[in-house]
Chain A
C-alpha cells in the first residue's frame, strides 16, 4: 500500500479505503468509504481531490455524517440547540451541559455546493422572498422548511446586531415561518473613548467595559434559556469545564495550523484544513469526537513534518486566504495552480484563540464573543490579517468574497489597500459562488497570475 502523502480522487479513496480496511483500519461508527456520501447526494465530492491519510478520511466522514449523527443524538434523548450566526460562543455553553448538543444550521450554506444544486433548498428560499441577492446561507431557510437535512432543534439561538444584514433577514424569515428564535445582541465593537475603562480581548483587541458588560448580560439570558431547556442549572463550574474542553479543540487547531501553514513541503491540503478549522465554531455536533478527529489529523501532520514529506511541491507559493469559499473546489484549484494556503482568516479567527481561563466564565465568553472579526471594524480585522500574514510568511493574499454576503461587499478593498500599503505583497479578490465551474477559467487565470507575480518576486 502506498502511504506517501498525496491528493487523490473520490474513486481512488474508495479503492484505498478497501485496502486500508483489509489492512486492519479501525474506524469509528460513522466511518466507511467516502463514495457512499456521493451516492447519497453529495455529488460535489466527485470533483474534489482529497488528502489520502486515514486521518483525513475520518475528518470527511465526520463532517459528512453530521445529519445522521444529529438524528441519532436526538433519538438517544439528547436535546438539540441550533446556534445560528454565532461563531463559536453559544456552542461552548451548550456543550457545558451534558444533555445538550449544539449544531450550526448556517452550515447548510455548503449544501448547494455539495449537492450541486440538486436540491430544492434554494427554490424554497426563492419562493419565500430570499432570492440570490442573499448569501448562500439562504439554503438554511430551505432546510428548515423541507426538514431533510437536520432535525428541528428544541431551542434556536441567533446573534444579531453587528452581524450580517443578509443573515439577519434570513433568520427573521425562519422565525416568521414558526421557528421561534432566542435572539441575543452583539454590538459593533468600538474603540473605547479616552475616559472609558478598557477591557483587553483575545486577539489583541480592546473594547469598552460597558460593551463587555452588555454582551455578558446577553449571554446570561442564553445561559438561563439553556438551563431551562436542559432542566439543570448551567453553573460556573460546568461552564469553566466547557471552556477548558473548547480550549482543548483550539489548542489542537493552533498546533495544526502552525505546522500545516509553516512547514515545507505543505503537509496537509487546504481543503482538509478548511474543514478542520470549521470544527472550532460548532464541533460538528459532537465535541468529544471533534477532539479525537483533530488530534488524529494533527498527529498525521506531525508525522509528515518530521519525515519531511508533504502533499504539494516544495516551491508552492505561500498564500494567505481570507473568507471561506462557497465552492470547496476552489481550494483544490489554488493548489492545482501551484499555490498552498499559509494562513487563513475565515471570519472566525476569534474562535481559534484560547478563551481566557483565568476569568469568570461568562466574562471570558463575553470577551471572546466581542473579539469576533465580523463585529469589529474592517481596520481591526485587517490589522489581524496583516499580523498573521507576517507570522505565517505568506507571499500573496486572496480575499474570497461570498456572493450576497453583506460583510464581504466592501471589506476586500479595505483589506487589499492595507495589505498593499503595509506588506506590499500581491493580492487578488475573487468572488466564489456555490458552484464556480463556469468561472473556473477566469478564477484559474487570476490565481495563476497571482502565483506568477509572487514567484517573480522571489528572484
Chain B
C-alpha cells in the first residue's frame, strides 16, 4: 500500500509516496507552487505515480499539510506542518530533540518529546525575517545565486552586521554596505547570521540536542554553520530536508490506515 503526503508550501509543493510494506519512500517530488495549489500538487502526485510505475489502485490515504493544506482537495485529511514535520523527522532522524524548520514563508522551532511527538513549538510567520524569502531577496540584492550564498559566505573574514529585522530595510542596508565597500562575502555571511539570530531568538536558549535543521533553507550551504555559531551547539541537516514535512504527512496517513489516531485538529 502506498500512502501519500502532500505539503502545499508557500514556495513549493512537495509530494511523498510512502511504501507501507518497506516503510520507505517510494517516490518524492518538489515543484514550484502556483496559484491553483490543488492542481499543482495533483499534477505532481499523478506524475510521481506514473513515472514510478505505481498501480493507482495501490494508493491509499492522502494527508495534506502546509500552508495550503485546506486547498488540496484530493487529501482525505489535513494535519498541520508542525505535527507532520515532527513525524517526518522522527522517521529520518529518530534521535532528534529539536527541529528548526526554515521554509519559504515562515520559520519554526519544534521541541520534541522522547517519543518524537511535539512538546512545544514556536513560529515566525508575520514577517519575512528569518525565512527563505528573506534569503532570496538579499541574495538577489547581492547578485548571488541562492545555492552559492553559503559558499561565498565561507570566504568572509569579517561578517557584516545586518541590523534590520525587516526584509525591505535589510535590502536598503545591503545597498549601503555595498556602497561602503564591504565585500559580498562579508555581507553574505551577515545575511546568514541574521537569519540564524532571528531563528535562535524565536527558539530560546538551551535547546535540547540533537538539533536538526530542515525545510528548504536547509539546502543553503552554510546555514547550519551559521545556526551552530549562534546556538553554540551542533546542528545537523535533515536528509532531504525539503520533503520531511510531506514525508511526515505520508507516515501519518499510513498510521491512520492502521487505526492509529492522528492528531487532526
Residue numbers in A under 8 Å from B82 (CB-CB): 445, 449, 452-453
In the assembled complex, B122 has its CB within 8 A of some CB on chain A: yes
Q: How far is the CA of A439 from the CA of B123 in the complex (A)?
A: 14
Residues of A315-349 whose CB lies within 8 A of B: 337-339
With A and B bound together, what is the CA distance between A424 and B120 in angstroms? 9
In chain B, residues 118-142, which have Cβ atoms closer than 8 Å to a Cβ of chain A?
Answer: 118-123, 125-126
Whether A456 contacts B118 in the complex (CB less than 8 A), given A431-B126, A447-B265, comes out as yes
Contact of B264 among A431, A442, A452 (CB under 8 A): A452
Chain A stretch 436-459: residues in CB contact (< 8 A) with chain B: 439, 441-442, 445-449, 451-453, 455-457, 459
Across the interface, which residues of A come within 8 angstroms of B81, CB to CB? 445, 449
Closest to A339 in B: B265
Q: Is B79 an interface residue (CB 8 A)?
A: yes
Residues of chain B lying within 8 A (CB to CB) of residue A449 = 80-83, 118, 121, 123, 265
The digit string for B237-265, where 1 denotes a CB below 8 A from any CB of A, is 00000000000000000000000010111
Give min CB distance, B252 to chain A, whole Å: 10
Interface residue A426 (Cβ < 8 Å from any Cβ of B):
yes
Q: A426 touches which one: B118, B126, B264 (CB < 8 A)?
A: B118
Q: How far is the CA of A21 from the CA of B152 in the complex (A)?
A: 74
Closest chain B CB from A416 CB (angstroms): 8
Query: With A441-B67, A445-B80, A445-B81 in contact, do A452 and B120 touch (Cβ < 8 Å)?
Result: no
Q: How far is the CB of A48 from chain B (nearest CB, A)?
A: 20
Contacts A451-B265, A452-B263 given: A427-B120 contact, CB under 8 Å?
Answer: yes
Instruction: Determine the residue in chain A with the shortest Cβ distance to B118.
Output: A453
Complex alpha-carbon distance, A428 and B118, angstroms: 13
- B12 contacts partner chain A, Cβ-Cβ < 8 Å: no
Which A residues touch B197, using CB under 8 A? none
CB distance from B83 to the nearest CB of A (A): 5
Q: With an 8 A cutoff between CB atoms, is B117 at the interface?
A: yes
B68 to chain A, nearest CB (A): 8
A453 near B83 with CB under 8 A, answer yes
Contacts of A455 in B (CB 8 A): 263, 265
Chain A to chain B: the 3 pairs with minimum beta-carbon distance, closest first: A448-B265, A449-B82, A452-B263
Beyond the given pairs A426-B119, A441-B67, A455-B265, 9 more chain A to chain B contacts, judged by CB atoms under 8 angstroms and listed by A's residue number, are A337-B265, A426-B118, A426-B120, A427-B120, A441-B70, A448-B265, A451-B263, A452-B264, A453-B119
| Interface SS of B by simple majority | loop
Contact with B along A283-298 (1 / 0, CB 8 A): 0000000000000000
Restricting to A161-175, which residues have a CB under 8 Å from any CB of B? none
- Complex-state Cα separation, A452 to B119, whole angstroms: 11
* Tally of contacts, chain A with chain B, CB under 8 A: 68
- Which residues of B are interface residues toward A (Cβ below 8 A)? 67, 70, 79-83, 106, 117-123, 125-126, 204, 261, 263-265
How many Å lie between the Cα of A424 and that of B111 in the bound state? 12
* B204 cross-chain contacts in A, Cβ below 8 A: 417
B71 CB, min distance to chain A CBs, angstroms: 10
Task: Find out whether the CB atom of A426 lies under 8 angstroms from the CB atom of B121.
Answer: yes
A338: chain B residues at CB < 8 Å are 264-265
Closest-by-CB residue of B relative to A455 is: B263
- Tell me if A453 and B67 are in contact (CB < 8 A): no
Q: Which residues of B contact A424 (CB under 8 A)?
A: 119
B125 contact set on A, CB distance < 8 A: 442, 445-446
Which of B67, B83, B123 contacts A456, CB < 8 Å? Answer: B83
Give A136 to B61 CA distance when docked, in angstroms: 45
A113 to chain B, nearest CB (A): 19
Query: Does B121 contact A453, Cβ atoms closer than 8 Å?
Result: yes
Q: How far is the CB of B96 from chain A (nearest CB, A)?
A: 16
Q: Which residues of B contact A337 (CB under 8 A)?
A: 265
User: What residue of chain A has the Cβ atom nearest to residue B264's Cβ?
Assistant: A452
Task: Answer yes or no: A47 CB below 8 A from chain B CBs.
Answer: no
How many Å lie between the Cα of A296 and that of B214 in the bound state?
53
How far is A447 from B121 in the complex, measured between Cα atoms in Å? 11
Whether B80 lies near A428 (C-beta < 8 A) is no
Q: A445-B67, A452-B82 are in contact. Are A420 and B265 (CB under 8 A)?
A: no
Q: In the complex, what residues of A have CB within 8 A of residue B120's CB?
A: 420, 426-427, 453
Judge whether A456 and B117 touch: CB under 8 Å: yes
Q: Can you give 13 A-B contacts (C-beta < 8 A)?
A: A337-B265, A338-B265, A417-B204, A426-B118, A441-B70, A445-B81, A445-B123, A448-B265, A449-B121, A453-B82, A453-B83, A453-B121, A456-B117
Most central of B79, B120, B261 by chain A CB within 10 Å: B120
Q: Which residue of A lies closest to B116 (CB)?
A: A456
Whole-angstrom distance between the Cβ of A409 and the nearest chain B Cβ = 14
A452 and B79 contact, CB distance less than 8 A: yes
A447 to B125, CA, bound (A): 13
A431 to chain B: closest residue by CB:
B126
B87 to chain A, nearest CB (A): 10
Q: How far is the CB of B118 from chain A (nearest CB, A)?
A: 5
Find chain A residues with CB under 8 A from B123 CB: 428, 445-446, 449
B263 touches A456 (CB 8 A): yes
Question: A residues within 8 A CB of B79?
Answer: 452
For B117, give its contact among A417, A442, A457 (CB under 8 Å): A457
- Chain A positions within 8 Å of B67 at CB level: 441-442, 445
Q: A448 contacts B80, CB within 8 Å?
A: yes
Choose from A339, A431, A442, A453 the contact partner of B263 (Cβ within 8 Å): A453
